[in-house]
Structure 1
Amino acid sequence: MKIFVLTFGISFLLCFCAIAQTGQMNSFSEPQAMMLPCSDCHICDKPTVENPCLKACPRHSWKMTTEHSEAEAPDIIIIDELESLYSPVEFHHKNHAHWTVMQKGCSECHHYSPEGPIPACNECHTKEINPKNLRQVGLKGAYHQQCMGCHQEWSLSTDCNFCHVKLDEEGGMPEIQTAERALITEPDRKVYNVEMDDGPVVTFHHQQHSQLYGIDCMECHKGEGCGVCHTPQDKRTAVAQKPEDPHARCFNCHEDASCDKCHLQKETEGFTHAQTGWPLSRYHKPLTCNACHPKGKKISRLNRSCTSCHKNWSSSNFDHGNITGVTLGEIHMGFDCSDCHLNKRFDKKPSCDGCHEGYAYPDVEPEF
């Protein structure tokens, strides 16, 4: 009886492991169907055969377990599995990998990424469509699904010859490699008129946020389509964007700001450091905010002492004439900074009262 129970138990365990392993293997080739809301594919409430009102096919990263770096793949990949009417496609992987930071990273294209090397598209997508699994497109559909969304948006073309060269056109180059890209002209500011009696005008100083504050494009524009910036204004088509609170982008930095910080009665001028009570010298003006204020922290007032930033600074290695425009004479060169700059307030006019009566800078300069 004990032998029977033991034999039955081992058999049951082996069967269970085999079933589990089979399920795991099948999960690679045919991922389990997901219960998706209709709105993932349709933009209307009641789609019909005549009017399916379909969106572009959604991509679901149903298995993403490993992060990869672009260095793992070659710079250029030749796609030639489907070579028939057209020559193989030269895909510049490195360039595209850089651009994925604006979207979802590697999973923008590699929606299946188990541990280890990323599997090639043809490991799951076959040349012929599998009629038993219509959820999984064929290899041709998979390639085009990857590329057409972004490229159609900025090229405004779905013509095959735009990306492909026919086999009989030796030495030809697809239009995609020679087409002109729209130059991005960064606006100085954007003014929004909103329905708000107490503050109908919002002025957003775009150049200051990118150039002065050092904010990367993707910090505000992550998830937007390429055409939002790279397609000429007069040729842009309506591109579905993820709806969001119009304040969402700003709250990353201005979460605690009150409404009247931005909502005013008229346009505003850009920020100047003089508004803080500390006008910047000609040497500090070209610097970005993060040169003095640590990135990732709320900007606050700094210690005005030169040595708070310039650790090795001293009166002996400071070129007073070149930096301030005032050359000190032999007598004044031996003085300590605080002898003329009271409390080392270098943003204030120096005082001569400690040694001289009736002298005032800049009426009298210390050049004797």
Structure 2
Amino acid sequence: MPRRYYPIAILTGLFFIAALTGYLTPDEQRQAPTRTLLNNKAGKVIFAHASHVELQNQECVTCHHTSTNEQRPLQCSRCHVKRFDAGFLANHPSEFDQTQCVHCHHRTATIENFSHDAHTEDYVPEDCQACHHDKSIEPEPQSCSNCHKENATEGMISLKEASHSRCADCHDDFFEAGPKGCKKCHARKTEGLTPAPQRCSSCHEESIDMLIPTTTNAYHAQCRGCHEHQSSGPYGDDSCYKCHMK
């Protein structure tokens, strides 16, 4: 090879080594991206990741809500996919570390956010029948779980259905809020989660995309929601072009 090609060959080799190193470097050792290109039908979005990290004082958990502020949280699109189809349901368990399952799956949910005292003292004072059955069925108010069990039986609806139907009489706004309304009464418990979590449908009646937003819905809710809260940045329906490129 002629000597005049040596510099080109050396530079090509260096670029190849740099590219290979970047490809082989584990995710947790890489630096957070300066910018991220988001492809979608409405037009590509160049998200200025580094400037947002600076604005939030390095608090990753502000946007990465599953994070405990680790420096390399999961990318949004890892959980918030375009569609929760059969392929995702079949493949996603092998694509995540088992410690990350608790971000979406939880073993159970308590009702520790529900206060019986607050209801008897503030909401329906001295009117137990506002929640409990009348005396023909329930001579003295008792725990709902005394009769209503986890699963429905012949002639008796489940505890969940009984509680929800009665609570909805007053708190219909909780149920209209969908999964976000659950935390008004329930607290998620992740302790003791098994390596093979149950399907969402074993407890939740909503479809998966109602429980976990798709990519588009997640970005719009998180980005537009923050911009509107801060009164800074695009968030209105007429501001699409400020993020999306045609």
**TM-score bracket for the superposition, by shorter chain length:** 0.3 to 0.5
Larger radius of gyration between Structure 1 and Structure 2: 1
Higher relative contact order (CA 8 A, sep 6+): 2
TM-score, scaled to structure 2: 0.32
